[in-house]
Amino acid sequence: MRKIVSNQISPNLFLSDWFYAGWKTLLGKQCAKENFEQFFRTKNFFLCNTARSALWKICELAEIPKNKKIGIPAFICAVVATPFLDQSYEIEWIDTNENGLICPKDLAKKIKNLGAVVVPHIFGQPANIQAIKTLCTPQNILVIEDCAHHFNPKEPIIADVRIASFGREKVYSCVSGGAVFWQEESRIAAKLKNLTLKKSSQKWERQHWMQIFWYGLALPWWNWGGKIIPHIAKKLNWLPLAVSKNEKNGTFEHPLTQMGTKQKWVLWRQFSQSKIKTIHNQIIAQEWKKLLSQFFPSENIIIPDDCFRVILKCDHQTQQKIITTAQKHKYYLRDWDGQPIAPAGTNLQALNYEQKNCPKAEKFSQSYVTFPTNLRTSKKQVQNFKKVLVQIY
């Protein structure tokens, strides 16, 4: 079998997850909220279909004045902006630091016109939420922590609201899902607590559950024709897209609903195996560090505490050499597609982003490579990557 290494192509889920969720659902079992309360260490949360849908509802409940803008760092997925654009808010794009994290100094320059700010962690690197909250609280600006790339329930909630994404390549995954958490002191706590969500459609739940099946069949044989399986599934509209063409053009598409029963079971299984996952991530991250240190200065190698990714800082030419050469050896390392607002094909004009508006974010998008630490990546595969680096250097 010719297995691939990737951050993006169904890195977290296996056929066993598909069988587990299907069997639990077939037996008529519901995944109890108490299970999640224990893992999240709070009762102040709800699970939903997508994190972007949760953003839309948070924006509505917060009743942000229409003359205010929404601050979003320019190194971000386009779908973070669409919920606000859909409600006729203008985006104020905030620059990042040299590692892709929101820059408090640039935020301070643009803060007067803001009604809310989204603060994402990037590739496992935690943003300085406390610094952002200190800036925003006197201005009555809603702070939304985005935990798509770094989710640790043990960490206290400092922001007004915390969202988590459980999409395909996130820290924990159920293909599509999200969660919203809040403090009792949050100005929208009462509204969030009393929120009632509609059920997701059976089609939504089935499609996202079946994605695990299609990729579970395809990935072990990806380079021996296995990739044809998800290709056919997409053509037949059996496989949902992570980001649709409409979303790339600034359109919001997914109203807020409950997380599907099968998605809950998949997510719960991920949480139940979190210790195994964490240990594996740490082992693989150290293996990448050992290898990369033979070719690059150690200060250019970033390993976040959760080891979600290993990040190599480099120039654009090196980035492209590594990505293109690696792909020839079945290592798919493209992550974020080389532009600040991803994915590739995003209509920046529709998102009101002008090139050179956030130069550090644009530079970062072309000056790093991320290396996977997920359960599909083995020590041997990391060690074999040396032939790619030798070929380049």
| pLDDT digits (tens), the chain, 393 positions | 467 899 999 999 999 999 999 999 999 999 999 999 999 999 999 999 999 999 999 999 999 999 999 999 999 999 999 999 999 999 999 999 999 999 999 999 999 999 999 999 999 999 999 999 999 999 999 999 999 999 999 999 999 999 999 999 999 999 999 999 999 999 999 999 999 999 999 999 999 999 999 999 999 999 888 999 999 999 998 999 899 999 999 999 999 999 999 999 999 999 999 999 999 999 999 999 999 999 999 999 999 999 999 999 999 999 999 999 999 999 999 988 778 999 989 999 999 999 999 999 999 999 999 999 999 999 999 999 999 999 988
Specify the pLDDT at position 1: 45
Contacts of residue 25, Cβ cutoff 8 Å, sequence gap at least 6: 261, 262, 265
Residue-level pLDDT at 2: 61
Give phi and psi for 257, each to the nearest 5: -140, 175
Distances (CA, A) of 392 to 4, 82, 124, 141, 335: 20, 40, 27, 48, 20
User: pTM for the full model?
Assistant: 0.96
- Residues near 205 by Cβ (< 8 Å), separated by ≥ 6? 260, 261, 262, 263
Distance CA 281, CA 330 (A): 20
The answer to whether the beta carbons of residues 310 and 288 sit under 8 Å apart is yes
Q: Which two tokens stand for residue 95?
A: 């620059």
